[in-house]
Structure 1
Amino acid sequence: MDAAQLDAALWALGRGTGVVSLVALTLSIVLGVLTRSGRPLPGLPRFSITLLHRNLSLIACVFLVIHIVSLFFDSFAQLTLLDLVVPFFGNFLPFWQGLGTVAVDLLIAVMVTALLRNRLGLRTFRVVHWLVYAMWPVALAHGIGNGTDGTSPWFLWLAAVSVLLVVASVVWRVSSRFVEFSGLRVTGLPDPVLTISSRESR
């Protein structure tokens, strides 16, 4: 395989893993709303939703790492170590590439607080975890503006469906119908979310 073929293979790998990471992140956000509310999916207990949410988040991170590494070794992308942490200094479409760096920085902050959740406390974890809602549209804009397939009809349809899912879940989350366990709170029974969180923080 010559240098041109290797670059083409790395470029294709970078494109594919970027799309998979975005899809996994989108589904993780939607399931995160379901996990927070305590509403089970048909045929699945609530702990399964939590496990699926975490696994999708892990998949998004793994494919994101592959996405970054593959493009880092691609001579066409022209990425540097500085581009991986500092946005808007790249040689190729610096603004759109910089949005990807911003999304990665936000994701790192969320991952670190998730790993240090027991030490930082539940309140700090939840505040930083809200950065996911800022990271997702930034990552989506990066995919549209910087990706080779960003303006392709299939990708725009994928982006539209992703936006619809996330917006619908967020709107439902802030609506009055969001609280799933309100009846339990009225009767004085413990909230399963708070009970599990208190046990984890010990």
Structure 2
Amino acid sequence: MSALVTLAAAGPSPLWYATRAGGTVALVLLTATVALGIAVGGRYEPRRLARFEVSALHRNLSVLTLVFLALHIVTALLDTFVHLGWLATVVPFVSSYRPLWVGLGTVAFDLLLAIALTSAVRLRLGQRRWKAVHWLAYGAWPVAVFHAAGTGTDTRLAQQLALYAGCLALVVGALWWRLYHAGPGRVAARLWAGVTAAAVPVVLAAFMNSGPLQPGWAHRAGGTAPVATVGGRPAPTPADDGEAPHD
């Protein structure tokens, strides 16, 4: 009976589920925000929606992304299974738990925070400077995807892999849509965007096959958290390879 109680206590806490849910929803919302910004930007004019409606939807998606990202960060900090520390939320690569992959999440957060802060002073900053900072959102997306894949202990699940594939397909599809409607001119920029759209899926697939989908990833990722024991043996968790049930 005591072993069963210990085993139950060793399972993931509600904070773990909240962290995973917050991070997953934030990634989906960020994907939708980036895809929408790519698809309707430039010269393309949507036929059934006014430009201000698209802008309002884009802005609301951005705000929701930050809300769920905040939930993801706060619950991760409150969950004591892995001690991240507040410094790791703003300074990349200082976490003792999977420093590279947690650090990528910090980089994505810092980029999105810069966009939010500059948007608040957009009129004073000027359109050109604000737009330059706004482009950081496009860089934050792939960084966030690699953070999720490298840090998430449920990356091997079929549902999670399908979600990553869906996010990737949406952004790449939006980029090809943008290129299709771009019109003549700016050949170098269009060529660079096309190469990027083709390369990102290949790089991500190669990383997944050689990293998170292979046995021993918890050890190679670095900073594996301590595993609870039952009767002197490791207690099973939702993760493989003795990984901590944490993102």
Query: Residues 87 and 102 of structure 1 are in contact (CA less than 8 Å); yes or no, is this contact kept in structure 2?
Result: yes
The 5 A counterparts of 1:154-193 are 154-173=159-178, 175=179, 177-178=181-182
Q: Could you list the per-position Cα deviations for residues 32-75 of structure 1 after superposition, in whole angstroms to 9, with x for gaps in the alignment?
A: 1244245326x433322211111111111000001100010101
Query: Residues 15 and 148 of structure 1 are in contact (CA less than 8 Å); yes or no, is this contact kept in structure 2?
Result: no
Separation of aligned partners in 2, 1:65 and 1:24? 13
Separation of aligned partners in 1, 2:119 and 2:10? 39
For residue 92 of structure 2, what is the aligned residue in structure 1? 87
Aligned residue for 1:36, secondary structure, equals coil
For residue 194 of structure 1, what is the aligned residue in structure 2? none
For residue 67 of structure 2, what is the aligned residue in structure 1? 62
The 5 A counterparts of 1:16-165 are 16-37=21-42, 38-40=44-46, 43-165=48-170
Whichever structure has more helix as a proportion of its residues is 1
Query: Residues 99 and 139 of structure 1 are in contact (CA less than 8 Å); yes or no, is this contact kept in structure 2?
Result: yes
Query: Residues 25 and 60 of structure 1 are in contact (CA less than 8 Å); yes or no, is this contact kept in structure 2?
Result: yes
Query: Residues 14 and 71 of structure 1 are in contact (CA less than 8 Å); yes or no, is this contact kept in structure 2?
Result: yes
For residue 8 of structure 1, what is the aligned residue in structure 2? 13
Q: When the two structures are superposed, what TM-score results if normalisation uses the length of structure 1? A: 0.79
Separation of aligned partners in 2, 1:83 and 1:72? 10
What value does the CA root-mean-square deviation take over the aligned residues?
1.9
Give the aligned residue type for 2:160: F
Give the aligned residue type for 1:100: G
Moved more, 146-155 or 64-73: 146-155
Identical aligned pairs, as a percentage?
44
Separation of aligned partners in 1, 2:159 and 2:45? 32
For residue 182 of structure 1, what is the aligned residue in structure 2? none
Query: Residues 100 and 139 of structure 1 are in contact (CA less than 8 Å); yes or no, is this contact kept in structure 2?
Result: yes
Give the aligned residue type for 2:130: F
Aligned residue for 2:92, secondary structure, equals coil
1:166 is displaced (CA, Å) by 0.8
Query: Residues 114 and 133 of structure 2 are in contact (CA less than 8 Å); yes or no, is this contact kept in structure 1?
Result: yes
Query: Residues 39 and 175 of structure 2 are in contact (CA less than 8 Å); yes or no, is this contact kept in structure 1?
Result: no
Relative CO higher for 1 or 2, CA cutoff 8 Å, sep ≥ 6?
2
After superposing on structure 2, the runs of 4+ consecutive aligned residues of structure 1 that deviate more than 4 Å are: 4-7
Separation of aligned partners in 1, 2:27 and 2:161? 13
Query: Residues 7 and 74 of structure 1 are in contact (CA less than 8 Å); yes or no, is this contact kept in structure 2?
Result: no
